[in-house]
Amino acid sequence: MNIKKEILYKVNNKQLLIGVVGLGYVGLPLSVSFAQENNQVLGFDKSEEKIKKINSGENYIGDIQDDDLISVVNKGLLSASNDFSLIKKCDVLLICVPTPLDKFRKPDMSYIESACIEIGKNMKRGTFICLESTTYPTTTEHFMLPIIERESGFKHENDFWLAFSPERVDPGNKEYFTKNTPKVLGALTKDGLEIGEAIYKLAIENVHLVSSPRVAEMVKILENTYRLVNISLINELALLSGKMDINIWEVIEAAKTKPFGFQAFYPGPGVGGHCIPLDPFYLEHIAKKFNFDLTMINTAGHIDMLMAHRMTLKITSALNRHKKSINGSIILFLGVAYKPNINDERESPALKIIDEVINKGGNVRYHDPYISEIKTPENKQLKSIKLSPDSLKIFDCVVITTNHSEFDASFIERNSKMIVDLRNLIKVASNKVYKL
Amino acid sequence: MNIKKEILYKVNNKQLLIGVVGLGYVGLPLSVSFAQENNQVLGFDKSEEKIKKINSGENYIGDIQDDDLISVVNKGLLSASNDFSLIKKCDVLLICVPTPLDKFRKPDMSYIESACIEIGKNMKRGTFICLESTTYPTTTEHFMLPIIERESGFKHENDFWLAFSPERVDPGNKEYFTKNTPKVLGALTKDGLEIGEAIYKLAIENVHLVSSPRVAEMVKILENTYRLVNISLINELALLSGKMDINIWEVIEAAKTKPFGFQAFYPGPGVGGHCIPLDPFYLEHIAKKFNFDLTMINTAGHIDMLMAHRMTLKITSALNRHKKSINGSIILFLGVAYKPNINDERESPALKIIDEVINKGGNVRYHDPYISEIKTPENKQLKSIKLSPDSLKIFDCVVITTNHSEFDASFIERNSKMIVDLRNLIKVASNKVYKL
C-alpha cells in the first residue's frame, strides 16, 4: 500500500495517531476536538506543567469544558508528552506554536523553526504536517519546507505532505469554537490537500480549500488586519470626537442602524491579545522583501502604539479637573484582561497604562475577577484587590479598562469619586464620568 | 395655536407642504417617497431641465420607478420649481444639495450656503428645516444656523427649527431604498427633534434619534470613512498580493468563511461616486480646526489617489509581455460607471485611467451599456462603442473597469487578445488575463 492510501485508510478507520505540537489556547482545544471524535491524540509541549495537568485531566484553557478534557483523558484518547521522539509514532502533526513579535516588533520564528527541526529529526515517512500558527505568507513553502526536508532527508510529496491551515480561535466566543468554525486549508500539492481535508473533517464541520499555503496564510492576516485597521480607525475618530464634544458611542449605535455596508467597531484603550496586535506586522515584515510598504498597517500600528499614552493623558485631564495630579493620586484600574470575560492579559493595553501611571508617580491598584495577579511589561507585580463600596471610595480615580460582565456599572458609578471610562461601561449621564 | 402645535397638527392631518431643495439622486427619491404617502411636495432646483422633466413626469433617477414618478405628478402631489420665493409657502424644507470637494480637495460649502440664503430670505415663521447633505460635524450649528437667522431675522426655536438627517442613498441597491432605510436624525432642540421625527415618519419606516446634529453629521462620515478605509486597505493588499503571487480574490472568498468579525471588501481601480471619495475629507478638514490629524483617512486617501496611476502601470506591464507599449496600442475600457449596474460616472476611477492612458499615447475606446458618452476630468470626450466579437478582436488590450451584470465574461475572454481584469470578472484561469 502506498503512503497516500495508507494514511487515507487510517483516516477512514480512525486509526490515526494525531500529534499536536504546542498545547496552548489553539493546540489544546484542537486536541480535545479530535479526541472527542474518537481519534487518538498525542499532545507535545515543552512545558512540564502543561503535560502534567493534561495527563491528570486538569484543564487550563477557558474555552474548554473541564468535563470534556477529563472525559477524553480518562478514555485514553488524549495524552501529552514532552518527549519529541514520540513524533515518529504520529501519522499527522499539527503545529500550534506561538508566533510572537520580538521587542523590535519583528517576527520571532524560533518556535516554528524549533518545531520543524524536532519534526524533521523524528518523523516517519508518510506523515501529514500542517501549520496552524499565524505567520507571513510563504512561510510554509520557503521557511518550513527546507528545514523539514533537510532534517528528515525526506522529500515532500514522495515521503510526506505539508500544508497550512490557520487557527481561528476567538477566546470567550460562546457560539463559535473549534468544531463549528470553518477551517481554511492550503497545501503544497493536490494529494496533500486531499489528505488534509480528510483529516480535518474528522473534527471540524466545514473545511474550505484554497489553492496554496500562501493563500491560506494571507487569509488569516487579512482577517486580523481588517480588525486592527478598523479598531485603530475608530480609536482615532474617538479621540477627535472627544475634542469635538461628540459622543462616539452614540455615533456608532446610530451608524449600526444602516442595514448594509457597515460593521461596528468600538473604541478602547488599544488592541490586545495574541493576534490583532501582532499578525499584521508579520505581513508588513515580508512585504519589505517585495519592496512594498504597507501604509495602512503602518498607520494603524502608529495609532495603536500611542493609545496607552493617550489614555494616560485622559486620566491626567480628568484628575486635573479635580485639581489633582497623577503623582500622589491613588488610582484603581478595573479589568486588565485585553477583552471582556476572559483571563488573558497578553498585550493588554491596561498593563501599559498601569506602567505609565506608576512611572508618573501614581499609586496603582487593580481589580479583575478573572486575573488574580499581573506582571506589567516593566515588571511591576500587582495583585487584584477586592471591590467594596468602602474600597472604591478611597480612590481619586477609577479607570475602566475592561468591560467584564461582572462589573456593576451603577455600583461603580455610585461609589467612585471620579471615573475614566474607556469602555462605555457607565451608560447613565454623570458628571463624575470622563469617557473615551 | 403656537407654531409647534400648528406644524404637528399639519403632520397629523397631512396638510404639510414639504419643500425639497435640490432634486438629484437624494432629493428626488425623497420627494417621491413623501408624495407617495399623500403629502404635498414642492421640489426646488436651479436646473430648468430637471424642473421641466419632473413636471412632465419624466424620470431621470435610476432608483425611481418611472411609474411612481408619473403617478405622484399626475395626482398633483409632486411638482417642481426654480422660483425660490415659493419657499415661503413651505412648512418643511429638506435640503439635499451637493457637497463636493473643490480642486484642492477642500469642502465646497457654496451649495449649502446658497440654499440657506434662499431659505432665510423667503421662509415663513414656523418652518422645520433639515439638511440631508453629507458634511463635516458642526455644519448645522455653526455654518447654517447663523446664515438662516441673519437672512430671516428669525430666532431658532422661537420661529423655526433646524436639524440634520444624513441621506443614506445607495444607488442601485434593490433591497434598501428611501422608505425602508432607517434614518438618523439630530436636531438643535427637543422640539425640533420631536417635529422632525413626526415629519420623517410620514415617509420613512424607522427614524433613529440622536442627541445633536453633530452626532448625526458624524454618523454619515463614519459610515463612509469605514468604506474608504477598508477599500483602500484591500487595494493595498491586492497590490502586494500581485507581487507575491497570491490571488487576493481567492483570499477574500476564504476569509468570508469566518462566521464572525469580518466583512468582505473587494479591490478595484479605486473608489468612485459622490460619497466615499469625498465624505472622509470633510471630516479631515474640520479636524484641522481642532488641531487633529486624521492619519487613517490621510493614508486611505493617499492609496486611493495613486490607484489610477497604478492601474495604468498594470496595463503597461500586461502590454509589455506582448512586446507592446501603451503608446500606439488600441485599448478598450469595459465599464466607466463607478460601480456595477448604475449610470453614474462621477469620480469614477475609469475616467482617470483613460486620461492617463490617452496622455501616454494610447488609442482609447470604451463600452458601457449604461453610459453613452463621457467627458473625462481632462475634458476628453468619448462615446460608448458597440461590442461584437470582431470589434473586441481589434484591441491590443481590453481593460475591465466596471463589472456590470451585462458583461459576458466568457464572450469577452474568448474574443479578446489580452485582458486586464481589475474587477475579477473573468473567473476561469486564462493566460490572456492579467488580474488586479
Residue intervals in chain B for CATH 3.40.50.720: 3-211, 249-435
Catalytic residue status for B275: yes
Is residue B229 within 8 Å of residue B300, measured between CB atoms? Answer: yes
Task: Say which residues have a Cβ less than 8 Å from residue A160's Cβ, sequence separation at least 6.
Answer: A123, A125, A126, A127, A128, A129, A148, A152, A154
d(CA B415, CA B430) in angstroms, rounded, equals 12
- Residue A428 touches chain B, beta carbons under 8 Å: no
d(CA A333, CA A384) in angstroms, rounded, equals 10
What residues 203-262 of chain B have any CB closer than 8 A to a CB of chain A? 206, 208, 210-212, 214-216, 218-219, 222-223, 225-227, 229-230, 232-233, 236-237, 239-241, 243-248, 250-252, 254-255, 257-262
Q: Do A226 and B214 touch (CB under 8 A)?
A: no
Cell 518527549 locates to: A83
Cell 485582458 locates to: B419
Distance from CA of B165 to the nearest CA of A (A): 11
Q: Which three cell numbers stand for residue B290?
A: 481642532
d(CA A11, CA A70) in angstroms, rounded, equals 24
pLDDT exceeds cutoff 70 at B410: yes
pLDDT exceeds cutoff 80 at B198: yes
pLDDT value of residue A426: 95
Q: Do B252 and A211 touch (CB under 8 A)?
A: no
Q: Do A214 and B239 touch (CB under 8 A)?
A: no
- pLDDT bracket for residue A1 (50, 70, 90): low
B4: exposed, middle or buried (Cβ count in 10 Å: 0-12, 13-18, 19+) = middle
d(CA B294, CA A233) in angstroms, rounded, equals 9
SS3 readout for chain B: CCHHHHHHHHHHCCCCEEEEECCCCCHHHHHHHHHHCCCEEEEECCCHHHHHHHHCCCCCCCCCCHHHHHHHHHCCCEEEECCHHHHHHCCEEEECCCCCECCCCCECCHHHHHHHHHHHHHCCCCEEEEECCCCCCCHHHHHHHHHHHHHHCCCECCCEEEEECCCCCCCCCCCCCCCCCCEEEEECCHHHHHHHHHHHCCCCCCEEEECCHHHHHHHHHHHHHHHHHHHHHHHHHHHHHHHCCCCHHHHHHHHCCCCCCCCCCCCCCCCCCCCCCCHHHHHHHHHHHCCCCCHHHHHHHHHHHHHHHHHHHHHHHHHHHCCCCCCCCEEEEECCCCCCCCCCCCCCHHHHHHHHHHHCCCEEEEECCCCCEEECCCCCEEEECCCCHHHHHCCCEEEECCCCCCCCHHHHHHHCCCEEECCCCCCCCCCCEEEC
Q: Do B239 and A292 touch (CB under 8 A)?
A: yes
Strand partners, B185: B209
pLDDT exceeds cutoff 70 at B1: no
pLDDT value of residue A104: 87
A344-371 residue pLDDT tens: 999 999 999 999 999 999 999 999 999 9
Distance from CA of B305 to the nearest CA of A (A): 13
Residue A129 is inside which H or E element, if any? strand A127-131
> In CATH, what is the architecture of B3-211?
3-Layer(aba) Sandwich (3.40)
- pLDDT bracket for residue B118 (50, 70, 90): very high
Residue intervals in chain A for CATH 3.40.50.720: 3-210, 249-435
Cα-based distances in Å from A218 to A202, A312, B314 = 25, 35, 22
Is residue B425 within 8 Å of residue B409, measured between CB atoms? Answer: yes
pLDDT value of residue A431: 87
Alpha-carbon dihedral sign for residues B262, B265, B267, B270: negative
pLDDT exceeds cutoff 70 at B202: yes
A28-86 residue pLDDT tens: 999 999 999 999 999 999 999 999 999 999 999 989 999 999 999 999 999 999 999 99
B304-325 residue pLDDT tens: 999 999 999 999 999 999 999 9
d(CA A13, CA A259) in angstroms, rounded, equals 48
d(CA B73, CA A148) in angstroms, rounded, equals 76
Mutant choice from A228, A262, A276 vs B, greatest count of B C-beta within 10 A: A262
d(CA A205, CA B134) in angstroms, rounded, equals 45
Q: Which three cell numbers stand for residue B207?
A: 427614524
Average predicted confidence (pLDDT) for chain B: 96
| 8-state DSSP, A179 | T
Contacts of B171 in chain A (CB under 8 A): none
B358: exposed, middle or buried (Cβ count in 10 Å: 0-12, 13-18, 19+) = middle
Q: 10 Å Cβ neighbour count for B408?
A: 12
C-alpha radius of gyration, chain A, whole number: 24
d(CA A361, CA B325) in angstroms, rounded, equals 66
- pLDDT bracket for residue B103 (50, 70, 90): confident
Distance from CA of B365 to the nearest CA of A (A): 33
Q: Which three cell numbers stand for residue A21?
A: 505540537
Contacts of A248 in chain B (CB under 8 A): 218
SS3 readout for A334-392: ECCCCCCCCCCCCCCHHHHHHHHHHHCCCEEEEECCCCCEEECCCCCEEEECCCCHHHH
pLDDT value of residue B153: 98
A169-173, B168-172, B272-276, B291-295: range with highest mean pLDDT: B291-295
Q: Do B137 and A236 touch (CB under 8 A)?
A: no
Pick B206 or B171 by higher pLDDT.
B206
pLDDT value of residue B314: 96
pLDDT value of residue A429: 79
Q: Which three cell numbers stand for residue B396?
A: 491590443
Q: Which three cell numbers stand for residue B141?
A: 450649528
> In CATH, what is the architecture of A249-435?
3-Layer(aba) Sandwich (3.40)
Average predicted confidence (pLDDT) for chain A: 96
Contacts of A224 in chain B (CB under 8 A): none
Contacts of B290 in chain A (CB under 8 A): 240, 243-244
Section B115-140 average pLDDT: 98
Q: Which three cell numbers stand for residue A10?
A: 487510517
| CATH number, domain A3-210 | 3.40.50.720
Task: Say which residues have a Cβ less than 8 Å from residue B46's Cβ, sequence separation at least 6.
Answer: B82
> Which residue in chain A is spatially nearest to B167 when comparing CA positions?
A258
Mutant choice from A135, A252, A289, A292 vs B, greatest count of B C-beta within 10 A: A292
Is residue B386 within 8 Å of residue B367, measured between CB atoms? Answer: yes
User: Backbone phi, then psi, for B167, in 5-degree steps?
Assistant: -65, 150
pLDDT exceeds cutoff 90 at A105: no
Distance from CA of B433 to the nearest CA of A (A): 18
| 8-state DSSP, A423 | S
Cα-based distances in Å from A181 to A341, A366, B29 = 20, 35, 42
- pLDDT bracket for residue B428 (50, 70, 90): confident
Section A165-184 average pLDDT: 94
pLDDT exceeds cutoff 70 at B397: yes
| Strands A433-435 vs B419-421: parallel, antiparallel or unpaired | unpaired
pLDDT value of residue A349: 96
| 8-state DSSP, A201 | T
Which residue in A219, A241, A303 is closest to B254 by CB distance? A219
Which residue type is seen at B243? K
d(CA A206, CA A183) in angstroms, rounded, equals 6
Cα-based distances in Å from B191 to A159, B3, B159, B196 = 78, 11, 12, 8
- pLDDT bracket for residue A148 (50, 70, 90): very high
Cell 432607517 locates to: B182
B339-353 residue pLDDT tens: 999 999 999 999 999
pLDDT exceeds cutoff 70 at B94: yes
Section B235-259 average pLDDT: 97
